[in-house]
Structure 1
Amino acid sequence: MKYADLHTHTLASDGTQAPSDNVRLAAEAGLAAIAITDHDTVAGVAEALEAGLRYGVEVVPGVEVSTMSKGRDIHVLGYYVNPEDERFLRRLAEIRDVRDRRNVMMLQRLNELGLDISMEDVVASLQVSKKDGETIGRPHIADALVRKGYVADMKEAFDRYLGADGAAYVNPPRIGPAVAVQWILESGGVPVLAHPGLYDQDELIEELAGQGLAGLEAYHSDHTPQQEEHYRQIAERLNLIVTAGSDFHGERGGVVFHAPVGARKIDVSVLERLESARRRDL
C-alpha cells in the first residue's frame, strides 16, 4: 500500500524545515505523497513541487486557513488550491494582516505580565529571514520565550502564555470557517476541516458540509483513537472524504512538534477522491 501525509508545515509559516526538506522526509518515510499546508500562505508550494520531482513524491499544493467560530480558532485545509490565483493570494494576505496584529497584541500582553519580549526578539529567534508572503505565528513567539529563559520549552510557553487558556492569549476577529470554505472552492481547491477534535464544535461539521466542505481530517496526531473513530463515522455519515495528517512543524528544542512526517497517514487513493471533488466544483 502507498500512503499520504496531508498536513505539514514549513519555514513559510511556523515550521522549522524548508519545503524541500518536508518532501525529503516524506520520501525517507516511504510516503507516496505529502501536502504542504502552511498557515495562510502558499509561499512554500513551488519549492515543494520541484522537490517532489527530485524525490519521486507527489506534492499536494495546500494551505491551512485561519478562521474563528464562537471565539475559538478553527482551521480549514485547502487542497489543490491555485497558488497563482491573485484573488486568493490577496485574501490570504488579509488573514496574515490579522495574524500580525494578533502577534503584536500577544507581545503587549506578555509585556504587561512583566516579560520583556519584543518583535525584534521574535525575529532574532527565527532560523531564517522571512520572505514576502510568509508568516510569523505563536510558535515563533514561543521560541523567543524559550531563548530568553522565560519558559523551559514550547509546551510550557503554550500552557502558561500562548495557548487558548494562556495568560497572554488573544484572538482578534477573523473570517468564519464557512468563508474559508468558499474562498478555497473559488480558488479551485478542496476544503477539509482540520483536526476537529480540538474544537468541541461537532455541530460545525454538519453546518459546513451543507456549504461545500468536502472532507474531515479524522486522523490527526492530537486525536485519540476514540476521536479518530468518532470523526471517521461522522465523515461517513455526511459523505465527507476522510483525510489524515501529522501536522508536522519540525523540531524545536529536540522535540518534534506535533509529530514526525508520516506519523498520521492514509491510503494515497484518497487523492483520487479529492481530485474528483475538485473537478465537480470547477
Structure 2
Amino acid sequence: MAQTDLHMHSSASLDEEISPRGLAERCRQNGMTLAALTDHNSVEGVAEFMWRGAQLGVRTIPGIELDCMEHGHNLHILGYGLDIADQTLKQALHEIRALQTQAGVRLMDAVEALGIRFEREQVLEQAKGGIVSAEGIAASALQLAENQQHPLLRPLLPGGELSDRPLVNFYWSVCAPGKPAYQPVDFPSAGQVIDWIHAAGGIAVLAHPGASLKNGTDVDAVLTLPLDGVEVFTRYHNAAQTAFYLEKTQQKGLLVTGGSDFHGRIKPDLEVGDIDFSGMESKAREMLLAALD
C-alpha cells in the first residue's frame, strides 16, 4: 500500500457515492500522507476534501479529471494544484456538464432501444446535476427480473464473466465507444483542456494512458501536447505497459505520477492507496510537489 494517491473520486463525480469528507477520512485510515481529489469534470468537492484532510494531517492537493478528445480517443487529463475558483475553468465545466446532460437523455433512449428495461424516473432522480451515467442506468436495469435473460446483461449478473464490476462493465460492454448504445459527447480537445488547467495555475497530467490508448496507439502524437506529466503507476497498466510509459515519460522529461482511480462501489477492486510505484514513490511525489511550488 502506497502513502501517495493522486487519483481518487468522491460523490462530486457522477459515478461515486462517498463524500469528499468521507474520502479524506478513508485516506487517513489507509495511511495516505499525500492525496489529490480528482473528480470527473468537477471541483465541487475539493474544498471539503482539503478541509477534512487538513484536520486529519493528510496533505491534500486540489485536482480534477477532465474528459477530452484527441486523435479520435476519449482521453482523461488530470489537473493538479489549480485554482478551483478560476472563472474560465468554472465556465468550461458548466459547458461540459450541459453536453453531458444532453448525451444522458440520448443514452437512455439508446439503451431502451436495445430492449433493456430500467426505471427512467428513478435514474433521473438519482442523476447528479441532472447528468445520467451508464452506471446509473445499470444499477436500475440489473435489479429488474425482466432483464435477467437479456444477452447483454447476463454476463453482468452474479456468476457472469463481467460480474466483478457489473456497473462499470455495463458501460464498457454496452455504452462505450464502439458498443451498441454509445452516444458521443463533443468534449473539448486535449489541447484546450490543458490550456484551461495551465490558465488556472495547475499542471496537466495524462491519466492512465494504457486504458485510453490501446496498445500504445498514437502515444507519441499525444505526448507532443503541452503536458506536464503522465500517470504511469496505475492498476490499469500491467508490468510491460508501466515500463513502456515510464520510458516514454522520462524521455520527454515529464513528471511521473500514480493513482488508484478509486471509485467505490462501481470499481470495488480499487482501493485508496492501492498503487505499486515500483520503488519510485518518493521521487514521484518530490517531483510533483516541487512542480507545484
Question: Which one of the candidate residues 163, 181, 184 is aligned to 1:171?
Answer: 184
In structure 1, what is the equivalent of residue 171 of structure 2? 158
In structure 2, what is the equivalent of residue 229 of structure 1? 243
Q: Amino acid of the residue matched to residue 272 of structure 2?
A: V
Let me know the Cα RMSD of the aligned residues: 2.5
Q: Amino acid of the residue matched to residue 252 of structure 2?
A: L
Residue 261 (1) aligns with residue 272 (2): yes
Contact 2:134 2:170 in 1 (8 A): no
Tell me by how many angstroms 1:278 deviates: 4.2
In structure 2, what is the equivalent of residue 26 of structure 1? 27
In structure 1, what is the equivalent of residue 150 of structure 2? none
- Tell me which moved more, 267-276 or 7-16: 267-276
Q: Structure 1 CA distance, aligned partners of 2:289 and 2:206?
A: 17
In structure 1, what is the equivalent of residue 229 of structure 2? 215
- Tell me which moved more, 39-48 or 15-24: 15-24
Residue 148 (1) aligns with residue 144 (2): yes
Residue 199 (1) aligns with residue 212 (2): yes
In structure 1, what is the equivalent of residue 201 of structure 2? 188
Contact 2:10 2:18 in 1 (8 A): yes
Per-residue CA distance 1:95-128 (angstroms, 9 max, x = gap): 111111221111111121122346523134x4xx
Change (3 A) 1:238 1:54: same
Contact 2:233 2:259 in 1 (8 A): yes
Q: Structure 2 CA distance, aligned partners of 1:94 and 1:268?
A: 38
Tell me by how many angstroms 1:23 deviates: 1.3
Q: Structure 2 CA distance, aligned partners of 1:146 and 1:110?
A: 13
Q: Structure 2 CA distance, aligned partners of 1:198 and 1:221?
A: 10
Tell me by how many angstroms 1:245 deviates: 0.7
SS in 1 for 2:204: strand
Q: Amino acid of the residue matched to residue 288 of structure 2?
A: L
In structure 2, what is the equivalent of residue 248 of structure 1? 262
Tell me the matched-pair count: 271
Change (3 A) 1:208 1:276: farther
Q: Structure 2 CA distance, aligned partners of 1:81 and 1:251?
A: 28
Change (3 A) 1:263 1:272: same
Change (3 A) 1:123 1:55: farther
Q: Amino acid of the residue matched to residue 230 of structure 1?
A: F
> What's the TM-score, normalizing by structure 2?
0.83
Change (3 A) 1:195 1:156: closer
Contact 1:26 1:261 in 2 (8 A): yes
Residue 73 (1) aligns with residue 74 (2): yes
Contact 1:146 1:157 in 2 (8 A): no
Tell me by how many angstroms 1:238 deviates: 0.6
Contact 1:35 1:61 in 2 (8 A): yes
Q: Structure 2 CA distance, aligned partners of 1:265 and 1:183?
A: 30
Question: Which one of the candidate residues 260, 274, 279 is aligned to 2:288?
Answer: 274
Q: Which runs of 4+ in 1 moved over 6 A?
A: none
Query: Which of the pair has more CA radius of gyration?
Result: 2
> What's the TM-score, normalizing by structure 1?
0.86
Tell me by how many angstroms 1:220 deviates: 1.1
Change (3 A) 1:138 1:34: farther
Q: Amino acid of the residue matched to residue 223 of structure 1?
A: H
Q: Structure 2 CA distance, aligned partners of 1:31 and 1:249?
A: 16
Q: Structure 1 CA distance, aligned partners of 2:222 and 2:194?
A: 8
SS in 2 for 1:5: strand
Q: Structure 2 CA distance, aligned partners of 1:63 and 1:5?
A: 13
Contact 2:117 2:141 in 1 (8 A): no
Q: Structure 2 CA distance, aligned partners of 1:32 and 1:204?
A: 35
Identity of aligned residues (%): 28
